[in-house]
Amino acid sequence: MPKFLKLINAVEHGVKGPIWDCQMCGQCVLHSTGMVCPMTCPKTLRNGPCGGVR
């Protein structure tokens, strides 16, 4: 991987990780789930936060 892509990836993870608890899975759907990473759910539900949306 070229150095600039590694830098971009590091910056992206540095921002997404602390703010949205991003798992860097490569299947980002934050815009569809109200900025909640569904991959943090033990069931890895992709249709919203674990436990459902209220």
Helix (H, G, I), strand (E, B) or coil at 21: coil
Count the Cβ atoms, other than its own, within 10 Å of residue 23: 16
In tens, the pLDDT along 3-49 reads 999 999 899 889 888 888 787 887 787 787 777 777 777 776 666 55
Confidence of residue 54 (pLDDT cuts 50, 70, 90): low
Measured distance CA(15)–CA(10) in Å, rounded: 9
Domain boundaries, the chain: 3-40
What per-residue confidence (pLDDT) applies to 7?
93
What per-residue confidence (pLDDT) applies to 42?
73
